[in-house]
């Protein structure tokens, strides 16, 4: 049986909602790709969502369109997020996003290189299902 988090792996965009220290929710549409029992997201190492995940790892996910409008009937799914900045995680992310998004992902990576952004300036957000309550 697929858990609700990895069930979102086939969606083109997912609305990732993180929480500020003040309690304000911050939704962001992202690309996701599945790796094992998790969804992977790429983002800049200095992005606000990275800071928010570090202090509040509980997030919500919802299928959306490219500008972040939730799809009709798409459920809100709670997940745990963690930040990974190691080469192995980046390799898994790169392979997964390349396989799913193909030339779109390659074009974005190429634009980043042209702008002088190193791959090491990005991190991987790993999203997993919440553990069951005992």
| H helix or E strand, kind and range, residue 113 | helix 103-114
Q: In angstroms, rounded to a whole number, what is the distance separating the alpha carbons of residues 118 and 105?
A: 15
Does residue 88 lie within any of the structural domains?
yes
Q: Is 81 inside any structural domain?
A: yes
pTM of the model as a whole: 0.88
Domain harbouring 109, CATH code = 2.30.110.10
CB count, 10 Å around CB of 127?
25
Three-class secondary structure of residue 29 per DSSP: strand
Task: Name the band, by pLDDT with cuts 50, 70 and 90, for residue 12.
Answer: very high
Q: Going by DSSP bridges, is the β-strand pair 13-19/77-84 parallel, antiparallel, or unpaired? A: unpaired
Number of domains in the chain: 1
Q: Is the pLDDT reported for residue 120 higher than 60? A: no
Residue 133 lies in a domain: no
Contacts of 19 (CB under 8 A, 6+ apart): 25, 26, 52, 56, 58, 59
Residue 24 lies in a domain: yes
pLDDT on residue 130: 86
Rounded mean pLDDT of the chain? 90
- 114 or 74: whose pLDDT is higher? 74
Q: Is 14 part of any domain? A: yes
Domain that holds residue 103: 6-128
Question: Could you read off the pLDDT of 28-78 as tens digits, one per residue?
Answer: 999 999 999 999 999 988 999 999 999 999 999 999 999 999 999 999 999
């Amino acid at each position: 049986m697929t858990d609700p988090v990895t069930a979102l792996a086939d969606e083109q965009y997912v609305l990732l909602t993180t929480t500020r220290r003040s309690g304000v929710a911050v939704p962001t549409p992202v690309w996701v790709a599945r790796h094992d029992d998790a969804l992977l997201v790429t983002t800049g190492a200095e992005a606000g969502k990275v800071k928010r995940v570090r202090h509040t790892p509980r997030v919500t996910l919802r299928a959306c369109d490219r500008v972040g409008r939730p799809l009709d009937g798409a459920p809100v799914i709670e997940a745990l997020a963690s930040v990974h900045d190691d080469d192995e995680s980046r390799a898994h992310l790169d392979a997964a996003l390349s396989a799913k998004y193909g030339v779109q992902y390659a074009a974005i990576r190429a634009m980043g290189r042209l702008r002088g952004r190193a791959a090491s300036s990005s991190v991987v957000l790993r999203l997993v299902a919440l553990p069951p309550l005992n």
